[in-house]
């Protein structure tokens, strides 16, 4: 086998190794993003390769490697024919992989929010126009060893594409991110920035390792021949990758106080990107330095993006753009002048390297940003907020997963309240096991809800019976008192009978309101007492400007058997306050408070600043119907105590402890 065929075979093998990088990028991006977008990631990475291949065959290869017109663009080899010989065909196949790599970088950076059709448009612009034109400027003529692109002729060196491949992809990614914006929730208006964690870091590590494998061909095949440089190039490549890994691990450990898996991934790839421009022209020590600084630059760019609120989903810009720029500069700093063979001094080489970076920025970023702004005005590049929320798997590709089906069912159940809905169960999968146990929980909850509903129904029937009997008895008592008041001639007895009738009516009103409460087990006392007191003010035709009312009632729910006597007590006390709180020498004031004490006890205080009760009054022996009723209700119904403070008006303090709910029902 002659040398020429050996070289061709080597280039074809390297093309296959670089193709592995597509698999690496797919795994890397899938692991660093959320699972609801994994199918979108997969289809983008295979689609962009198809687009790249067709475009590069039809026009991209011709623009990049065709006969140069003034060093700006190629003019031959459109719709490349296989009749051009094996060397041309192997170069074409090898360069397809480089173009596809540049395009795929954009996929990771813009993940989770870019429409699929938008990504196709970006891929077409990048693969069909931006990449091949800049590639022509830097690399046209590499197959013959005589550079004819204007940057290449000026002495710009980029051995395997730190700028031509990686920075080009990074600049386009940056332009796209500035147009479409960050993922929802990534940078909250208030508070710290939110890290959106990936779904599978081990898969991302596998992707990074596949990229390492691809770099065998990426840098090793860029000689376009199996010569004595290949071994050193591959060795330098892997030393730089290892250096980037360890430097970012160490710095990240110091800054973040932990070994961050993502930084190890990003650092390793940054080291590989950085060495790509000079792998053929540096020694092993310089390779280690270049890779380590590449990892450091990556960290700096990552913090800069975070500060500027630019959301790169997979660290593509820090890794490919940041490290790519550094790697291109490093050519002038560390590159062996004899190997570079540009005839430039180190300072002149540094200037042309920096110029190449600037030209790449202006052409790549400027062109893509202008295109994206224009397209976005008429066809939004970004998905809607709802589509982003449910994930691009479903919104862009209609791909349903077990997890999506489970969440959809749970969402419908939450909105409809239908406890009969069950999650579909796919046996022998993790999601299926979760769904099965969720259904078990819903079964148990439905059984308990049925028991509770039956218990409440029984209680409602009981309360209706109690309501009916109490109402009838109150009506009978009221009728008897009415007859008594008409038959008696004693004015005091008539007055007491009429007062008793009024109290019976109030008792009936309280009972009716409590019975109509939506919750038969507990009564929201705050609003109830406010309404009751307001009704009393209206009944006694008292203005709040004449007697002010101050209430401090904690958010307490009382059982209905506690609420009824408590309501009657408050009614009686407030009624007395309304009668005796007003004095000509000062404005009247009524204060009501109800609060929780320790050990489940409750304290009710009703006070006024009126004339007060006689000092000689003994509540136990009082003949007043109201005082006796308050005492009896407190002691017998509430199992509490009544204390009266007669200074500066009258204050009733009632302390009671409600029965446990299970005892009440």
Is 60 exceeded by the pLDDT of residue 3? no
Strand pairing category for 588-596 and 601-608:
antiparallel
> Averaged over 396-419, what is the pLDDT?
78
Which of these ranges, 69-78, 85-94, 380-389, 550-559, has the smallest mean pLDDT?
550-559
Contact 208, 14 (CB under 8 A): no
Q: What is the pLDDT of residue 664?
A: 40
For 590-632, write each residue's pLDDT tens digit: 888 888 888 778 888 888 887 777 666 665 555 565 677 788 7
CA distance 215 to 162: 12
Per-residue pLDDT tens over the stretch 576-595? 777 665 566 667 788 888 88
The pLDDT of residue 20 is above 60: yes
- pLDDT tier at 663 (50, 70, 90 boundaries)? very low
Domain boundaries, the chain: 3-187+209-395, 525-665
The mean per-residue pLDDT over the stretch 8-13 comes to 95
- The CATH fold of domain 525-665: Heat Shock Protein 90 (3.30.565)
Where residue 515 falls among pLDDT bands split at 50, 70, 90? low
Kindly tell me if the per-residue pLDDT of 536 is higher than 50. yes
Instruction: Give dist(CA 339, CA 264) in Å, integer.
Output: 32
Burial class (CB in 10 A: 0-12, 13-18, 19+), 8: buried
**What DSSP state is assigned to residue 37?**
G
pLDDT digits (tens, 9 = 90+) for 349-361: 999 999 999 999 9
On the question of pLDDT at 110 being above 90, the answer is: yes
Average pLDDT, the chain: 84
pLDDT in tens, 212-230: 999 999 999 999 999 999 9
pLDDT band for 287, please (50, 70, 90 cuts). very high
Residue 176 pLDDT > 50, yes or no? yes
Share of residues in the chain with pLDDT > 90 (%): 52
pLDDT for res 462: 59
- Phi, psi (deg, nearest 5) at residue 599: 60, 30
Give which of 222, 66, 225 is closest to 140, Cα–Cα. Answer: 66
Q: Place 519 in a pLDDT band, splitting at 50, 70 and 90.
A: very low
Selected from 1.10.3430.10, 3.50.40.10, 1.10.150.120, 3.40.50.2300, the CATH number assigned to the domain covering 3-187+209-395 reads 1.10.3430.10
Residue 427 burial (10 A CB sphere; 0-12, 13-18, 19+): exposed
């Amino acid at each position: 086998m002659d040398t020429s065929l050996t070289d061709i075979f080597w280039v074809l093998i390297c093309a296959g190794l670089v193709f592995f990088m597509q698999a690496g990028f797919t795994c890397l991006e899938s692991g660093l993003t959320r699972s609801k977008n994994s199918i979108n990631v997969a289809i983008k990475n295979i689609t962009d390769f198809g687009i790249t291949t067709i475009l590069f065959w039809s026009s991209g290869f011709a623009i990049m490697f065709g006969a140069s017109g003034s060093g700006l663009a190629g003019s031959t080899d459109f719709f490349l024919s296989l009749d051009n010989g094996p060397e041309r065909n192997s170069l074409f196949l090898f360069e397809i992989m480089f173009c596809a790599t540049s395009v795929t970088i954009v996929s990771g950076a813009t993940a989770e929010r870019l429409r699929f059709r938008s990504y196709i448009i970006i891929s077409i612009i990048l693969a069909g126009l931006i990449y091949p034109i800049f590639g022509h400027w830097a690399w046209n003529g590499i197959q013959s060893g005589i550079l004819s692109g204007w940057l290449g002729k000026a002495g710009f060196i980029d051995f395997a594409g730190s700028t031509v491949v990686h920075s080009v992809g990074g600049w386009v990614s940056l332009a796209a991110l500035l147009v479409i914006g960050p993922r929802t929730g990534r940078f909250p208006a208030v508070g710290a920035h939110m890290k959106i964690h990936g779904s599978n870091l081990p898969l991302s590590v596998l992707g990074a390792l596949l990229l390492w494998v691809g770099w065998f061909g990426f840098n090793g095949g860029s000689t376009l021949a199996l010569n004595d440089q290949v071994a050193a190039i591959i060795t330098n490549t892997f030393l730089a990758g290892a250096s980037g890994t360890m430097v970012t691990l160490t710095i990240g450990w110091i800054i973040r106080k932990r070994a961050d898996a993502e930084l190890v991934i990003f650092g390793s790839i940054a080291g590989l990107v950085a060495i790509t421009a000079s792998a053929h022209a540096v020694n092993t020590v310089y390779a280690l330095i270049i890779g380590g600084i590449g990892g450091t630059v990556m960290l700096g760019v990552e913090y800069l993006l975070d500060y500027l609120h630019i959301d790169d989903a997979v660290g593509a810009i820090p890794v490919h753009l940041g490290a790519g720029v550094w790697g291109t500069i490093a050519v002038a700093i560390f590159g062996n002048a004899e190997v570079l063979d540009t005839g430039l001094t180190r300072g002149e080489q540094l200037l042309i390297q920096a110029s190449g970076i600037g030209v790449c920025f202006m052409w790549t970023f400027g062109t893509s940003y202008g295109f994206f702004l224009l397209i976005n005005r008429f066809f939004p590049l970004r998905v809607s907020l709802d589509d982003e929320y449910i994930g691009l798997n479903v919104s862009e590709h209609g791909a349903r997963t077990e997890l999506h089906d489970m969440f959809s069912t749970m969402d419908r159940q939450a909105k409809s309240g239908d406890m009969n809905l069950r999650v579909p169960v796919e046996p022998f999968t993790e999601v299926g096991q979760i769904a099965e146990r969720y259904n078990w929980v819903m079964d148990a909850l439905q059984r308990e809800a049925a028991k509770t509903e039956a218990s409440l129904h029984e209680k409602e029937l009981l309360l209706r019976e109690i309501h009916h009997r109490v109402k009838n008895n109150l009506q009978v008592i009221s009728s008897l008192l009415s007859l008594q008041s008409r038959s008696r001639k004693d004015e005091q007895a008539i007055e007491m009978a009429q007062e008793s009738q009024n109290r019976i009516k109030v008792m009936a009103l309280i009972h009716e309101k409590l019975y109509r409460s939506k919750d038969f087990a507990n009564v929201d006392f705050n609003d109830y007492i406010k309404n009751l007191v307001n009704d009393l003010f209206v009944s006694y035709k008292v203005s709040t400007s004449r007697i002010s009312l101050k209430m401090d009632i904690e958010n307490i729910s009382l059982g209905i058997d506690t609420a009824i006597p408590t309501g009657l007590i408050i009614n009686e006390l407030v009624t007395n306050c309304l009668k005796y709180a007003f004095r000509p020498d000062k404005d009247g004031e009524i204060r009501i408070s109800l609060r929780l004490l320790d050990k489940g006890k409750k304290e009710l205080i009703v006070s006024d600043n009126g004339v007060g009760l006689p000092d000689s009054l003994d509540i136990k022996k009082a003949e007043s119907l109201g005082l006796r009723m308050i005492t009896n209700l407190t002691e017998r119904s509430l199992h509490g105590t009544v204390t009266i403070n007669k200074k500066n008006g009258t204050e009733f303090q009632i302390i009671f402890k409600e029965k446990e709910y299970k005892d009440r029902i």
